Amino acid sequence: MTPLAIALCVVVSSAIIMTPTLFDLLSVLVTLLYSALCLALSLLLRTTILSHHLTIARVSVHLRPPSIALHNVQAVFPERSIYPSTTIKFVELRVTPHTPSRAAPKVLTVRLTSALHVSRLSTVSTTQLTAVILIFPVLARLSAGPPVQVTLDGFRLRVFSSTATPYLVQRLREALVSTVLFGEVLRFDDLAADVRFGLDYAALDGPGADKLGAPAQDEDGAETEPEEEQQPGAGEAPEEDDLLVVASTANLQMHDRKGRIYAFTHVCACMRRSWGGFVCARGAYEMEAEGCRWQRFPPVVLGEAGLKELSMWRCIARLPLTLPVDVYTLVTDPMRFIDLVVPRAQIQFDDFRMRDAELVRQGFEGLVRAFMGVPLMPGR
């Protein structure tokens, strides 16, 4: 059952992240226990148990270096479960323990290859996820940040509608937009924006785009008289119009005034809005980002507090006092213990509405606070 326990720990970790309070944690743990039992029976009996299904093709154990790996894992959750109507697949999950040292204080490395998460709200995939767990990284002078470093290679997120956004995606949007509006910009090299109206923007990039607006010609190359425009009748549909907004930035670094640094090497966002015709007004949103870093720094690094001498014995002596606080923080805000690095990310909203944009929400909230004389909050 050890491979099963490892697989369930990986599947369950995001459920704990989605738990904002201790009361919600209890309900999540009960549902989690039910799903874990159903998955364990499904794996042992090799059949579907109460709409739960778990398959593991192969388990491999290596002694040099020591590691354990699960291959071709697929988990299916029903509507009433810890993940409603969700399918999780990955090619390989490899867990490698390490002997920590002062030069390399690593305890555990978890590597997830070709992972796919499909739910009724979104689809998430990544080429490789690597999580490195450190012990006392500050004392080893390796890092001043959190003890868990996560790297997502080839991250792709597709949200079906902006009206129903996954909880983690919504939290990240709120934090990022709050930093843009109320945080501190440390570096900002370039900003470019382009707005297009009228014709379908897809035609501007297709073949013959250089001939748009040129007079019509016949087969011999002679110019022909343009045909008279025909007024639409009462029964005809109005012409469909498009709006395209493209914005890009380079080398953007921001501080949310709460210890987090957001850094992007290059970001390009595109929003399309269509209306008219027989279809209702609809929109789509896409974003590509490179060199994304979400890192946490202590007040000493940010220059907000003085430097204090640290020793291993002092940290061990303070452990009984700080451990309960750390456990509570792990339950309520687990992202405080994680540094996230995404070399390349692609995010897409199939159905996107302007009133669902977090920038519009928090921007209007900031205007209301400024008008009423309420101090602006630096972040949520």
Q: For position 223, what pLDDT does the model report?
A: 52
pLDDT recorded at residue 152: 93
Residues 69 and 11 in one domain: yes
Same domain, 308 and 365: yes
pLDDT score at 377: 52
- Are 12 and 32 in contact by the 8 Å Cβ rule? The answer is yes
Q: How far is CA 158 from the centre of its chain?
A: 10
Would residue 307 count as lying in a domain? yes
Question: Amino acid identity, residue 301?
Answer: V
Which among 71, 97, 123 is the end of a domain? Answer: 97
Mean pLDDT in the chain? 75
- Flag whether 370 is in a domain: yes
Domain assignment present for 363: yes
Same domain, 277 and 353: yes
Q: What is the pLDDT of residue 358?
A: 62
Q: Which of 97, 119, 143 is the last residue of a domain?
A: 97
Domain count, the chain: 2
Predicted confidence (pLDDT) per residue in 229-262, tens digit: 555 544 555 556 778 888 999 999 998 888 888 9
Whether 152 and 245 share a structural domain: yes
Q: What is the pLDDT of residue 334?
A: 74
Task: Judge whether residue 130 has pLDDT over 80.
Answer: yes
Between CA 335 and CA 28 the distance in angstroms is 18
Give the per-residue pLDDT at 101: 80
pLDDT one-digit tens code per residue, 277-295:
555 556 888 999 999 998 8
Residue 325 vs residues 229, 308, 318, 320, 322: alpha-carbon distances, Å: 73, 21, 12, 10, 5
The continuous run of DSSP H or E covering 263 comes out as: strand 260-275
Q: Are strands 155-161 and 241-255 parallel, antiparallel or unpaired?
A: unpaired
**Are 86 and 145 within one domain?**
no
pLDDT of 214 reads 46
> Residue 215: inside a domain, yes or no?
no
Check pLDDT > 70 for residue 347: yes
User: Percent of the chain at pLDDT above 70?
Assistant: 65
**What pLDDT does residue 264 have?**
93
Q: What is the pLDDT of residue 311?
A: 61
Q: Identify whether residues 139 and 88 lie together within a single domain.
A: no
Q: Give per-residue pLDDT as tens, 329-344.
A: 776 677 778 889 999 9
Whether 89 and 136 map to the same domain: the answer is: no
How far apart CA 213 and CA 175 sit, in angstroms, is 45
Q: Are residues 84 and 172 in the same domain?
A: no
Predicted pLDDT of residue 19:
44
User: Is the pLDDT score of 15 beyond 60?
Assistant: no
369-377: long-range contacts, CB 8 A cutoff, minimum separation 24? 376/182, 377/178, 377/182
Name the residue with higher pLDDT: 316 or 8. 316
> Average pLDDT for residues 73-77, to the nearest whole number?
91
Residues 41, 53: Cα–Cα separation, whole Å: 9
- Which amino acid appears at position 183 of this protein? G
Give percent above pLDDT 90 in the chain. Answer: 25
Assess if residue 221 is contained within a domain: no
Residues 147 and 285 in one domain: yes
Lowest mean pLDDT among 59-63, 100-104, 226-230, 372-376: 226-230
Is 115 among the domain residues?
Answer: no
3-class SS string, 14-79 = HHHHCCCCHHHHHHHHHHHHHHHHHHHHHHHHCCCECCEEEEEEEEEEEECCEEEEEEEEEEEECC
> Is residue 344 assigned to a domain?
yes
Q: Is the same domain home to 320 and 194?
A: yes
Please indicate, yes or no, whether residues 69 and 160 belong to a single structural domain of this protein: no
Range of the domain at 19: 1-97
Same domain, yes or no: 87 and 162: no
Taking only the tens place, the pLDDT of each residue in 187-232 is 888 889 888 876 554 444 444 444 444 444 555 555 555 455 555 5
Region 141-158: mean pLDDT is 84
Q: pLDDT value at position 147?
A: 84
Within-domain flag for 103 = no
